[in-house]
Structure 1
Amino acid sequence: MRWMLAGCWGLVLISLSVADNKKLQIRQKPRFYGVTVNTNVPIYCSSSRQDNSTVQWFKANKIGDEQTPLLTLIDDNINFQNHGFMQKAYLYITKIQMRHSGVYYCMVNETQGPGTEVNVFRPVAMEKALYRSNVKDGLIVFQGFLLAVFIAALFLRKQKLWERRDSEYEEPETDHIYEGLAIETCGGGLYEELSVYAQAEGAEAPWE
């Protein structure tokens, strides 16, 4: 019986040591913000351990860049709020500005969270957006018109060059082609003399 109790206590101690050595897990919510200026932004951070942990906040311009502790940045828009034994911490950015864009990390007992990316945009009025869109469309149409005019002018110029070449071309005169040529005529009947020359000497006629 004693050995059984000792074994049970040993298992309990082992489980407690494993739980203590379990890796600390950090969660951040949300993972991304896309907001306009003058918006209030809260970032939530929590740890998996039930103890009073020390929370630190860092900021980087983008993922992979060097991180700067927020305590070293003098900014009245950034406030911290820790909840001690509840293992929760909040980072509040009030009336956020363009300079606050970046990635925010919370660190609990030397373990860093996954980070929260914050992108800040300037608000754009709908009237200005429509005006810019119409201006871009007008420029595209105007560029297309200029391109069509240029192509038409190029074809017209080539056509004029072809017509000019055709007008400058002179056909050769045909009157002088046969000048200097003399046709020899033989006296007597032409067909009779040809028959004489066509028959070989010494050959007998087929009817002889």
Structure 2
Amino acid sequence: MHYLLLTSSVMALIYITAEGHIQVFQKPRFFGVKTGRTVRIYCVASNPSLPTRVEWLKARAYKGHPNPLKTDHRIIKMDKTSIRNDSITIKKVGFEDSGIYFCRLNNTLGPGTELQVSRHSDPESVLKRSRIKDLLIFLQGFLLALCAIVPVVWLYKQEKKEDAVYEEPEVDHTYEGLEIEHCGDIYEDISTLPPGPDAVWEVELPDQE
């Protein structure tokens, strides 16, 4: 009788200890899918024989505070059976489904499964966006080059205008071709003209004072 009580106490203690230190595993740990896909996240206990109470939570990041996950026609919770573990299925995922999903068994939180949803695109759309991006890069480079060249050209034209304003005047060539020898002959001819009443002017010689 004493052995029976002792055995029962040990079994109960082992059960309580195992229940208090249950380990929770999730698989997969990461999902990266396109929009419109269907994903399934599994929650597995370290001791499958123990009765468990499963809760699903969602957070924006690993360090964020997880909130209870609401199920609907897209997000379906599936309980554990003899042939499968607890899981959730998310149909037709969208951007709003991205986040960290946690399962909690008997108040023990799992490691979490990250779900990243990206936009689905076909090769033609990707090529078209790439060409548009290249065109925008070319236009930006052209505008930058234009902004750098225009001020230089403007300054060059301003300097040319200033040089034209301060340019030296052309040399006056009024007396060009008139040599000094010819000037001497003119003065001698003027001095030998005879004075007369009809003369407009006369030259006074030094000895006529």
TM range (shorter): 0.5 to 0.7
1:95 Cα shift? 2.4
Quote the Cα distance in structure 2 between the aligned partners of 1:101 and 1:78. 13
Q: 1:96 to 1:150 in 2, by over 3 A?
A: closer
4+ residue segments displaced more than 3 Å: 15-20, 84-87
- Contact kept? 1:46, 1:87, Cα under 8 Å: no
Residue in 2 aligned with 1:21? 17
Residue in 2 aligned with 1:43? 41
- Uncovered stretches (5+) of structure 1, i.e. residues with no partner: 1-5, 172-208
Partner of 2:57, secondary structure, is strand
- Contact kept? 1:55, 1:106, Cα under 8 Å: yes
| Number of residues of Structure 1 aligned to a counterpart in Structure 2 | 160
1:129 Cα shift? 1.6
Q: 1:91 to 1:74 in 2, by over 3 A?
A: closer
The one-letter amino acid of 2:90's match is I
Quote the Cα distance in structure 2 between the aligned partners of 1:87 and 1:135. 49
Q: 1:52 to 1:31 in 2, by over 3 A?
A: same
- Contact kept? 1:52, 1:85, Cα under 8 Å: no
Quote the Cα distance in structure 2 between the aligned partners of 1:55 and 1:150. 65
The one-letter amino acid of 1:152's match is I
Cα RMSD (Å): 3.0
1:28 Cα shift? 0.5
Deviations 1:34-92, CA, capped at 9 Å, x for gaps? 1112211110111112312111111223333333323xx25101222222567931111
Q: 1:130 to 1:82 in 2, by over 3 A?
A: same
- TM-score, length basis structure 1: 0.65
1:154 Cα shift? 1.6
The one-letter amino acid of 2:38's match is N
- Contact kept? 1:31, 1:117, Cα under 8 Å: yes
Matched, 1:93 2:101: no
Quote the Cα distance in structure 1 between the aligned partners of 2:44 and 2:58. 17
- Contact kept? 1:25, 1:48, Cα under 8 Å: yes
Q: 1:69 to 1:30 in 2, by over 3 A?
A: same
The one-letter amino acid of 1:101's match is S
